[in-house]
Chain A
Amino acid sequence: MRDIHTSAIVDAVKKLCIDANLDLEPDMLRAFDRALTTERSPAGRHVLQTLKQNAEMARTQRIPYCQDTGFVVCFVELGQDVHITGDALDAAINEGVRQGYTEGYLRASIVRSPFDRVNTGDNTPAVIHVDVVPGATLKLMLMAKGGGCENRSKYRMLTPAEGTPGVKDWILDCVSTAGPDACPPLILGVGVGGTFEKAALLSKKALFRELGSPNPEPAIDALERELLARANRLGIGPQGYGGDTTAFGIHILTYPCHITSLPVAVTIECHAHRHKEVTL
């Protein structure tokens, strides 16, 4: 059994929130460069170049990459040999968010109730998912999830008869309907299988895989590549101004499902894909 005090979790979450919004991960920067080698549209190239410049300005001048500094979604992998001391885990994560967003000059974008819509003022609370895993470490995977793209995320229950072709067509339909609203080039997190909520959860978690890395399952990797190529033939392009780079990546996670079911959830992520992780 290993003790981890929640003060370490507060500090880690605070740093992840600030870093995520100011320092885009290298996988995103590489995606801009890769796209610039293939993008034919002058307007699309201009957008990609501006986004590269934007990432550079965010890093050097400490201005958030996007004014929507996101809803904090935090996946926690808690080793079963860890004993958390101090405060409650959720409270510690939220305190980290509060400090990160306040001290980092990040925008408060959360309202306390979907009905009365009063801003909480410090971007709390986070959305927290905890998995208990073997080991004696605590891994925090944090995403600052933008609202514009999240609003274009979708769920559909297909029939087994619709099968893989149905899944493919529907995922591409999600790209088309998201279009310029969701700030393309997009990244799609896709959850296929499980139940209603399991598919949605997988679709979020899928976004944490390094962009450009292959899916460890060869058959799913082939499916991802086919879908990405098809998405980039839609013509939507960067910001929807027309072009070849509509999506940077499509990441799929699967789970077994019921004989009657074929659930598919798609989380739409924008080019401001702000994700960071740390292991304590």
Chain B
Amino acid sequence: MSVTTGADGTKEVAPPLSDADVESLKAGDRVRITGVLYTARDAAHGRLLPLIERGESLPIDVRGQIIYYTGPSPARPGMIVGSIGPTTASRMDKYVPALLRLGLKATIGKGYRGQAVKDALRQHKGVYFGAIGGAGAVLSQFVKKLSVVAYDDLGTEAIRRLEVENFPAVVVNDCHGGDLYTDGMKAYAREDT
């Protein structure tokens, strides 16, 4: 099992993830991720999609893996990375079903996902994590190693391989149809708005 529950109730997630791992995660669960994350955002996804459509191999093997939607700021000398918080996930919605079909198991970002993504998460057993948007300085401390694995010419938008320890996130959309944004808003919305 790559998902276990820590003493404080937080779920420990260690990719690669299986269908059973994904099924054990529920919307609202706090998680700590330890292991490899791949970064990719708009431009990198724009290059991956034609490869998928032509049936060619990708520069990363996505099976069981987690993609983190982020474009870090440059590292100061002696540091591993600069600021590294999540970007808005919905811009990558159009790429998600194809990547899940190839075996990708999770994405990390912030903000709403479209219905097609939610359907694909159910169909292919995938999960969408939220990280705290705009907390890029705090999140940088969980990154222990970083290397560019593809599309270096894209600068901040290159695909990077991160090794993270106890990277904090929360399950926003699970593979059972659960949605933290809907549940959270319902719990705190007050009448007479």
Interface residues of A (CB under 8 A from B): 40-41, 43-44, 47, 50-51, 53-54, 57-58, 61-69, 105-109, 117, 119, 121, 146-148, 151, 172, 179-183, 230-231, 233-237, 239-244, 270-272
Contact = CB atoms under 8 A, between A and B. Distances in A.
A64 B186 CA distance: 33
B188 A64 contact: no
Contacts of A234: 185, 189, 193
A108 B155 contact: yes
B137 A64 contact: yes
A97 to B, nearest CB: 15
B87 A68 contact: yes
A50 B88 contact: no
B185 A242 contact: yes
A62 B76 contact: yes
Nearest to B184: A242
A151 B110 CA distance: 14
B24 interface: no
What DSSP secondary structure best describes chain B's contact surface?
A: loop
Which of A67, A234, A235, A242 is the most central at the interface, judged by chain B CB atoms within 10 Å of its CB? A67
23 contacts: A50-B132, A50-B138, A54-B134, A58-B137, A63-B140, A65-B134, A67-B156, A69-B83, A105-B74, A106-B73, A106-B74, A107-B82, A181-B88, A233-B191, A233-B193, A239-B130, A240-B112, A241-B170, A241-B180, A243-B184, A270-B133, A270-B134, A272-B134
Given A41-B188, A65-B137, A235-B184, 13 more contacts: A54-B136, A57-B141, A61-B137, A63-B73, A65-B134, A117-B43, A180-B133, A236-B184, A237-B184, A239-B132, A240-B110, A240-B180, A240-B181
Contacts of A40: 188
Contacts of B110: 148, 180-181, 183, 239-240
Contact of A67 (B136, B141, B181, B186): B136
Contacts, number: 173
Given A43-B170, A119-B155, A237 B132 contact: no
Contact of B82 (A63, A151, A231, A242): A63
Contacts of A58: 83, 137
B72 A233 contact: no
B87 A240 contact: no
Contacts of B191: 233
B192 interface: yes
A148 B87 contact: yes
In the A-B complex, the 10 residue pairs with the smallest Cβ-Cβ separation, listed nearest first, are A242-B184, A235-B189, A181-B111, A235-B188, A67-B83, A107-B73, A183-B133, A57-B137, A67-B136, A64-B83
Interface of B: 28, 43, 70-76, 79, 82-85, 87-88, 90, 110-112, 130, 132-138, 140-141, 154-157, 170, 180-181, 183-193
A272 B73 CA distance: 15
B113 to A, nearest CB: 10
Given A67-B83, A107-B72, A271 B134 contact: yes
Nearest to A40: B188
